[in-house]
Structure 1
């Protein structure tokens, strides 16, 4: 049944996606449990920010964005040719850590970068690559990895550090549950220390990649490099990376994927 649904998504013209998604969410919005689940996602992300009052409105937009993401992964050409700004911020003579989050159409990030000459090595969860993954996840991973060199997390930090040679761009996400206490959008959570640690140990600049919306258009922004030596320690570097990401997510929160699965809760 799911395979048939994916086939339908392949055949439907992309021009019909917005109307179909809006109609589906209109129907689902009458379901109190569905509506509460969407609000829970936005509350989890925004309750400690100045946009907390907008949670009910943003919850509806979040539901549409989530559904649109599932449809668009079956039209990969629409998300793998995103405009990239700030290409000059990637130093091709050094190893670079490209730091990203699961924001907007991030699955097309690495193909979009590769098209402008920035090939990424991607640190990816091994379980996402397994054949037992769902059809939807397998399609998602095909897009994510189609123009990137994948390094499974099971290989460990030694393998990542060994790959950090001049010209290598290592893409690492920070919005995953970890052991490091950090602040993100006004709350203390646990995040991944990996990107900041790898950057510091390899003396590699960090280039933060964010999704930006401008009117009816959007693009990927590569921010000016952060030099590990400019920070007291990797935790300070990580804090600055998350500050930059926080501004981008707060400006466009409804396209942040599954907020309740990002970062981790502090005990107690």
Structure 2
């Protein structure tokens, strides 16, 4: 996207935050008349929900999913709002944690997840967030640059490129850092999520086990006003599981309720979850 495209995107910051949902709805009114586009959005939600009790709602949820995807992009230009999501359970990352032990912070690409790290940071949780290398590429599209700008906007949040590899991440955990890693990442390990067997990434659970780092989940929830809030959950202790595979299975199981309650806010199921096991 060139200079003009960048300017168009930044105009989003001039639109009042409260007006953005209506703007997204109006745009979807037009897009929903395009059968090919509508079918593609329904396919995303079918992939996420067809094996759950919400399968019958897929056409309706697909429209909400499309609206939220647009809204997520619009809201990205209001970092002051995204970085102030209400947080409950923050004590699991602050006063109730052993500062000598690292913490593996598990999240999924749900709701306004770029605002997750600054919202936690404002509550006193300093996180090293593992991100794609594109976060550091000035040639990345403007929306992507803004996404990572929001994620790393607080001084006590450090964006860490995934290219540091397992060794670099283990070093951070062994040094007592809170290491934020997305759990909805495609890999090679069979794992169940919302009734579908997928192939998930095994590395985070393996690192937590190797370093004896508790795993703390953060989930997103829709408030009465439609805005997201965050819930920090009580830690999972790696020693309570037979192996990293069992730990990974429990991590994914515990992420399910928040996604199932608000599936419209899950970002790009095909991209995040990858190809089902056996396909």
Q: What residue is the counterpart of 1:108 in the other structure?
A: 115
Aligned mate of 2:210, from 201, 214, 221 = 201
Which structure 2 segments of 5+ residues have no match?
none
Structure 1 segment 44-193 matched on structure 2, within 5 A? 44-90=47-93, 91-93=97-99, 94-147=101-154, 148-165=157-174, 167-193=176-202
DSSP-derived class of the 1:262 partner: helix
Q: Is the 8 A contact 2:111 2:228 kept in 1?
A: no
Tell me the CA shift for residue 92 of structure 1.
4.2
With normalisation by structure 2, the TM-score equals: 0.92
Give the secondary-structure state (helix, strand or coil) at the position aligned to 1:224.
Answer: coil
> Gaps spanning 5+ residues in structure 1: where?
none
Question: In the comparison of the two structures, how many residue pairs are matched?
Answer: 268
Cα displacement (A) at 1:54: 0.3
- 1:105-133 Cα deviation digits (max 9, x unpaired): 10000000010110101111113432221
After TM superposition, give the deviation of residue 194 of structure 1 in Å: 2.0
With the length of structure 1 as denominator, give the TM-score of the two structures: 0.96
Choose 45-54 or 19-28, whichever is displaced more: 19-28
C-alpha distance in structure 2 between counterparts of 1:224 and 1:55, whole Å: 32
Residue 244 of structure 2 corresponds to 234
For 1:4-19, list aligned pairs within 5 A.
4-19=7-22
SS at match of 2:52: coil
